[in-house]
Chain A
C-alpha cells in the first residue's frame, strides 16, 4: 500500500494527513490505515485526537455493508442493492404520480464532498423535480452566509487564508470554541495572545476563552443570547470615541450613517445591564480592537464569528453587527485584517455552494434568478422552466414532513437528523409520519435506524472527491483503500436511482467527471470553480510541497473563485484574499445594515429560570455517529453531561457526578452534572453529541432566524433539578470513579 495524501474526515479545518499502510499502532486498534499529520499552512502538520483516530471509523464494528429494508415485522433486514433501489424508485414514482413532485424531499449534509452535494442538488431538481431540498448546513452556516451575502455580496467563510490570523495584533472571537472544535487552528492565535489581544465572547469560560487568561486578552462572558449586544456596544464605543475609520467608510461602504445612529442607543452601561459584561470591559475591548486596526497603526485585527453567535433567532443580525464592526474599523479587504465566519462541518463551505440549499443553484447562484436558471439548465440539458423554484429551509421542511400538504418521502444523505436537529423529539415524530424514509449512511445512525430503506455508502478514505475548507481552499480527498464489499458511493446510488426513475444520462459516477460538470455549472457564479479540475488541484498540491518563494499562508491550494481562462492564457491563480479592491456588490461597496437586539425566542420565565446552551466537545463530532464508535474518544467523553456552576449546583443540591433533569418546553433530558466555575450561574451547558434521554437537541427550540432560517440551538429556557432516582436514571459512576477507570485503562 502506497501512502495517500488526503484530509481529515471531520471539521472544516480539513487537516492534511497522510494515510499509509497500517503500522503496529493502527493494527492494535483495528484501523486499516495509519494516519499521520501532513503539512498544510492551516494545520501545520497537527491533528487532534479525532483526526489521529479517524481510521477506526472505517472499521466500525457495526459498519453497514448491505442495504437494509424494513420488513412486515417492523425490523430492518438485509436486501440486495437491486431490491432496495427498485423498492425506493417504485415508491417514489408511486408517490409522485399520486401527490406530485413535491411529495418527495431531500435532506443533504455539509459533510458531503462537493461532487456529492452537486449531484444531490441536481438529482432533486432534474430527476425528482422537487423544490424540497435543504441540508444540515442550515443548522450550521446559514446565518453567516446570509449576513455575508447581504454585506459583501459573497459568502466565503474566511475571505482570507486562515494563516493570515497569525500576523494579527487582535482577534475578536464570538461564539467559537475553536480550541476544542478545531484545535490545530488555535496555533494561529499566538501573536494576538502575545500582544494581549485575544478577545473571546462566550458565556462559558471555554478552552478558547482560557486562551485569553493571564493577560493574553479578555474573556467577555456574556449572558447567553447577547453576543449582538456586545457587538452593538463595541460599535457604539468605536463611534463615540472617534475610533471609526471614516475615510474607509466613505470610500468602501454604504449605510454607515444608519448603523451609527442605531448604536447611539447602545452605550456601554446600557449594554452591561443586558449582556452582563462590565461597561469598562466593553470600552477596553473596543479600544484594543481599534488600536490593532490599520487606521491606528496596528498590526491588524480580525473579527470572527462561530455557531455560538450565529445559531440564534437573531443570528443574521449578529453576523451583520460583527461585519459592521469590522467595516467601522476598516478591516475587510485590508492586508492582515478582516471579518470571517469559522465554518463548522467538513465541507460546510463547499456544501453551501453547489445547490443543496433550498434557494440555490450551483456556483452559489440563486434559484429565483432567471439568468442563473438559464445557465444551469443549459449545463444540465434541461428547459429552465422545468427547474423547480425555491423550496423551504430545513426546519420548515422538517415541520412539513408527513403533514397533509407536506412531503411524504424523504431521502437523507450525510446527516443524523434525530440527534442534530432542534426539538429532536418532534423531528422523530415527523419522520415517523412519512410514507418512506431512505437514509444513506456508513453506520446505523439513530436516523438510519428509523428508515424504511438504509443504503450503505463509502466514507472518506474510500473515495475520491473535493472538499472546500473554511478558508475557501479547494482540497482533494483521495482514496486510500477499497470500500468494504457491498458498499456503494452516493454518486453510484444517484446514478442508479436516476436510471430507474427514467433519467438515463447526466449522473456520472466518476467524481472527477462530476467535478468537471460542477465547474462548468459554477462558471460565472459567485463561487466560480470553472478553472479547477481534479488534475489541476493535484498538480498545485504537488507543487506546494516545495515551499520555495510562495506565500506561506496560501501554499499548496487554490482558493475560489478560480474562473476558467481561455486556452493559451495562464490559468487563474485563485483568490486567496477577497475584497482587496472592491466588494462584489452592485456598486462595489460593502452594505452596512442597522440591526437591533430582541433576545432569544424561548427566554427565561419563572418555571424555566436558567438558560441552556449547547455545543461540542473536542472528542466528538456533530451527532457523534462516527466518533462515538471510536473507543478512545468514547472513553474520554462517554456520556451526556451538563456543566453547572457551583453556585447553581449548590442551590439545586447537586454534587459533581450526580444526575440532573433538565426540562425545556419540549422535553426533559437526563445528564451527569459536571460542576465547574466555567459555566455562568444562570446557564447550563450541554454537548449535543448523544441521542436518548441525554440528547441536548430534544430540549432545544426550533424557532428560526427570519432571514437565514437558522434555528435557535444555542439558547433556550430550562428548569434544572436533581434527578429523582428511579428506573429512568441509570446509575452513572461519580466522576472521580470515572477518572480512576480512565487511568487504569490507559
Chain B
C-alpha cells in the first residue's frame, strides 16, 4: 500500500482525492485527508454568489471525499511535518505517516496593513473589528450576508475579481456600495485603462461608486465598531462613512507548515512542473503552490494541477495497461486555457484570458480592438500564429463564450481576426424586412423541407392547373410531413391566385390560349424569382 496524506480538504485537495480514486487500479492507495475546517469541502468560487443571494448555500457542497479507502479528519490542523520520519503531526497530537504528501493548504485573505485593522488574521474575520469582513470562507460569506440586514452602506476594499463580484452582489441586496481601490484603475491585474473604463460604465449603471488610486489610511471605529474609512487620493483626504467593509485585497498562500518543514517557499511553496517540491515525497497544489509559471489564484489552475498529479501518481508503479482498445489521447501536459478570468457578477460582464495587447511581445502578433468604454464595451483580441493567445471582453455578451472556447481549444481564428468582433445585432438579418414575400422569394427556395418542395415547384404545379391548396398539396406533397410549411404554402397559393387569376386568361381553353401565354412569357427576375405567368387554361396536367 502507498500511504497518501493530503493536507487540506478544500476545492483542490478534495478534487485531488476524487481524481486519484477515479484512476484505474488505485486500490493500492491508502488516503488520509486532514482538513482544517469542520465543513465538508465546498465551492469557494461561489461565495460571492452567496453574498449576492443568488445561490442556495447547500448547492456549494462538493463531492464527498470520505470514500472507501479514504480517511477524512475534518477539523484537524496539521502543525508539523517530519520529512525524515515521513509523518505529519496534527494539532490534536496525531501523527500520520506518509509515503506521498500532498499539500493543498490553499490561501487566506490578505488583510491590508491599515490603522484600525489588527494585521494578519489567520482564519478569516475572527480578529477583525465588528463590521469588517474578509471574503474567503463560508463563514465569512454567511457573516457578510447577516451584516447586510442592518447595513445601508458598504465599502469593498480592493477592485479585483472578487471585489467587483462582492460589490455587485451587495448592490443586488440593495446596499449603497463604494469600491475603493489602491491601483490606478479597476481590475488592473487583468485590464488596461480602456478596459477598466468600460467596467466603470458598468458600475455606474448598477449605481456602484468607485474610488481608484486611493490610499486607505485608517479604518475608523466607534466603540470597536466600523463607522468609516479615511482615504487619501488625488483630491486630498476624505472620510467615507460605511456600515460594512469587505476586504478583497488579495490572498496569501498558506505556507507556514511548509516553512516549518524546511521546504523552499517564496510567495508560495516552490514546486516543479510535476507538482513536487525539492523533496520528491512532498507535493503542493492549488493556491499554496508556486509552480514555474506562477500561481494565478484561479481554480482552473489548481484543478489542473490536481488532475495531473493524480494521473502521475496512478501511473508511477502501476502495472502497464493491457487494454487493446485505444487509450485516451493524453491531454497536453502544459496547462493551457486555465488562466481564463470570468467575473461572476450580476450586471457586469468581464472575461479575460492569456496575454494582453499591450503586454505581448510575440513576433507578428496582431492586436485587434473594439473599444467603446462610454457604453461599457471593450473587446481586444491577440492573435499569434493563427490562434488566439489572449482576449479581453468587457460587456461583450455571447462573444466572450466564443472567444473562450477558441482560446482554450486553440481552434483556427479567421484570416481577418477582426471578423470575430463584428456581430450583427440580433435581428439585423431580418432588418431588410419581414418574411420575404412570395414575389421576391427565389424559385429554388425550399418551402416544404419534408418533401423537398421549392417555390418553383409550387408555381409549376399551379401552372399545370392545380388551383387550390389541396390540389397543390396533393400534387407536390408539400405540407404533408410536419405541416410546418402550411402557412407558407397557403401564402404562395394566395399570391398566385391574386396575381394570376384564371379570369385574366382570355379564351375558353385548349391551345387557343397559347398565343396569349406566348405574348406574356413567364418573366424571370434577375434574382431568379419568377413572376407568375398566365396559366395554361383547362387545368392541363
Contact = CB atoms under 8 A, between A and B. Distances in A.
Residue among B58, B59, B300, B443 with the highest chain A CB neighbour number at 10 A:
B59
The dominant DSSP class at the B interface is loop
Interface in A581-626: 594, 598, 601-606, 609-610, 618-619
Interface stretch (A269-277, A465-473, A570-578): A269-277
B440 interface: no
Contacts of A399: 324-325
B410 A606 contact: yes
Contacts of A180: 449
B481 interface: yes
A279 B64 CA distance: 26
A255 interface: no
Contact of A241 (B56, B61, B404, B444): B56
B49 A240 contact: yes
Given A49-B452, A273-B408, A618-B449, A647 B414 contact: yes
B477 A52 contact: yes
A604 B410 contact: yes
Contact of A272 (B342, B406, B477): B342
A552 interface: no
A236 B43 CA distance: 12
Given A185-B482, A187-B482, A603 B329 contact: yes
B531 to A, nearest CB: 15
Interface stretch (A89-97, A102-110, A257-265, A293-301): A257-265
A606 B385 CA distance: 11
Contacts of B324: 399
Residue among A260, A273, A598, A632 with the highest chain B CB neighbour number at 10 A:
A273
Given A49-B451, A277-B401, A651 B415 contact: yes
Interface string A130-171: 000000000000000000000000000000000000000000
B521 interface: no
Contact of A186 (B42, B342, B398, B484): B484
B328 interface: yes
B402 interface: yes
Interface stretch (A78-86, A371-379, A484-492, A738-746): A738-746
B397 A184 contact: no
B340 interface: yes
A715 interface: no
Contacts of A272: 342, 400-401, 404
B429 to A, nearest CB: 9
A743 B522 CA distance: 15
Interface residue tally on B, bucketed by range? 35 or more
B63 A681 contact: no
Contact of B419 (A45, A632, A647): A647
B338 to A, nearest CB: 10
A264 B62 contact: yes
A207 interface: yes
Given A618-B449, A739-B444, A602 B401 contact: no
Interface stretch (B81-89, B90-98, B453-461): B453-461
Interface string B228-245: 000000000000000000
A572 B331 CA distance: 55
B54 A48 contact: no
Interface in A370-416: 396, 399
A37 interface: yes
B45 interface: yes
A267 interface: yes
A121 interface: no
Given A241-B55, A602-B329, A273 B404 contact: yes
Contacts, number: 186
A242 interface: yes
B510 interface: no
A742 B444 contact: yes
B323 to A, nearest CB: 10
B46 A267 contact: yes
Contacts of B60: 264
B374 interface: no
Interface in A447-468: none
Nearest to B407: A273
A116 B409 CA distance: 47
B110 interface: no
Interface string B42-74: 110110010000111011111110000000000
B342 A48 contact: no
B43 A276 contact: no
A240 B410 contact: no
Contacts of A508: none
A278 B452 contact: no
A540 B397 CA distance: 55
B467 to A, nearest CB: 19
Interface string B31-42: 000000000001
Contacts of B356: none
Given A273-B342, A610-B412, A651-B415, A47 B405 contact: no
A604 B409 contact: yes
B326 interface: yes
Interface in B455-493: 456-457, 460, 477, 480-484
Contacts of B63: 258, 261-262, 264-265, 594
Contacts of B340: 273
A187 B483 contact: yes
A48 B326 contact: no
A265 B342 CA distance: 15
Contacts of A236: 59
A223 interface: yes
Contacts of A543: none
A258 B340 CA distance: 28
A241 B411 contact: no
A48 B481 CA distance: 5
A739 B444 CA distance: 7
B414 A681 contact: yes
Interface in B358-391: none
Contacts of B481: 46-49, 183-184
Contacts of A49: 450-452, 477, 481
B344 interface: yes
Contact of A48 (B46, B55, B443, B450): B450
Contacts of B342: 269-270, 272-273, 279
A610 B411 contact: yes
Contacts of A262: 63
A663 interface: no
A703 B410 contact: no
A746 B478 CA distance: 15
Contacts of A516: none
A433 interface: no
B18 to A, nearest CB: 9
A619 B448 CA distance: 13
A650 interface: yes
A274 to B, nearest CB: 8
B449 A704 contact: no
A273 B481 CA distance: 39
Nearest to B414: A647
Which 4 A-B pairs have CB atoms at the shortest separation, nearest pair first? A183-B450, A240-B55, A682-B411, A183-B481
Given A49-B481, A704-B325, 18 more contacts: A37-B480, A47-B477, A52-B480, A183-B450, A240-B56, A241-B54, A242-B56, A260-B61, A264-B63, A267-B43, A273-B405, A277-B401, A278-B397, A650-B414, A702-B326, A739-B444, A743-B444, A746-B456
Interface of B: 15, 42-43, 45-46, 49, 54-56, 58-64, 300, 324-326, 328-329, 331, 337, 340, 342, 344, 397-398, 400-402, 404-406, 408-416, 419-420, 443-444, 449-452, 454, 456-457, 460, 477, 480-484
25 contacts: A46-B483, A47-B450, A48-B451, A179-B449, A180-B449, A184-B483, A240-B55, A241-B54, A241-B55, A264-B61, A269-B342, A269-B344, A279-B401, A601-B328, A603-B331, A604-B411, A609-B411, A618-B450, A619-B452, A636-B452, A648-B412, A648-B414, A650-B416, A682-B409, A743-B444
